[in-house]
């Protein structure tokens, strides 16, 4: 299996032509069944650009991307991928999961993460609303939230989560 961990768009000096070429590459990967995860630089091109602002985003690049990637393509991206393993599963994500997302009563991190991701993606894909996982950004990244979301974690904010291994 092939996994890509996000931030496909926004090379800061890129053009709409560059964004379109990247979108074509993404489409090939998505249609080949590879596993693409959301990154903070991808969200505004797909859903709610006002709610998911990111440096490097432009309406011109978004229009170029929209000519290639449909909402159905974007809906195949995930927040994380879980690889079962003993004694702890591996969780792949763009920027990592902060332990603040795990209530103390969680005893099965895989079941909890599966339900949490479904809630966040249902909000985005079915209801057209965002979820704090997608936009929480702590002060170390210029945000005002108490802890980071899965696409906005700074390395200095990373705190391991008991019961899972992470690759970010």
Backbone torsions φ then ψ of 37, nearest 5 degrees: -105, 155
Q: Ranked by mean pLDDT, which of 48-62, 66-80, 143-157 comes out on top?
A: 66-80
pLDDT over threshold 90, residue 78: yes
pLDDT at position 164, please?
Answer: 96
Cβ atoms of 93 and 143 within 8 Å: the answer is no
Beta strand residue intervals within the chain, DSSP E: 3-4, 35-36, 80-83, 90-93, 165-167
94-133 tens-digit pLDDT: 999 999 999 999 999 999 999 999 999 999 999 999 999 9
Cβ atoms of 120 and 133 within 8 Å: the answer is yes
7-48 tens-digit pLDDT: 999 988 899 999 999 999 999 999 999 999 999 999 999 999
Measuring CA to CA, which residue among 7, 1, 167 is closest to residue 91? 167
Measuring CA to CA, which residue among 73, 54, 164 is closest to residue 116? 164
Q: How many CA atoms lie within 13 A of 100 on its CB side?
A: 15
pLDDT at position 12, please?
Answer: 82
């Amino acid at each position: 299996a092939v996994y890509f961990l996000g931030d496909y768009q926004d090379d800061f000096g890129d053009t709409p032509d560059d964004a379109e070429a990247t979108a074509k590459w993404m489409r090939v990967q998505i249609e080949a069944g590879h596993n693409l995860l959301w990154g903070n630089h991808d969200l505004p091109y797909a859903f709610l650009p006002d709610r998911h602002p990111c440096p490097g985003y432009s309406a011109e690049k978004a229009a170029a991307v929209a000519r290639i990637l449909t909402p159905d393509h974007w809906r195949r991206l995930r927040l994380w991928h879980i690889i079962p393993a003993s004694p702890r599963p591996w969780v792949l994500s763009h920027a990592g999961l902060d332990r603040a997302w795990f209530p103390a009563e969680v005893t099965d991190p895989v079941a909890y993460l599966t339900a949490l991701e479904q809630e966040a993606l249902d909000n985005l894909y079915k209801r057209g609303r965002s979820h704090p996982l997608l936009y929480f950004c702590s002060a170390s990244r210029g945000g005002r939230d108490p802890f980071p979301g899965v696409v906005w974690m700074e390395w200095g904010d990373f705190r391991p989560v008991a019961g899972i291994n992470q690759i970010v």
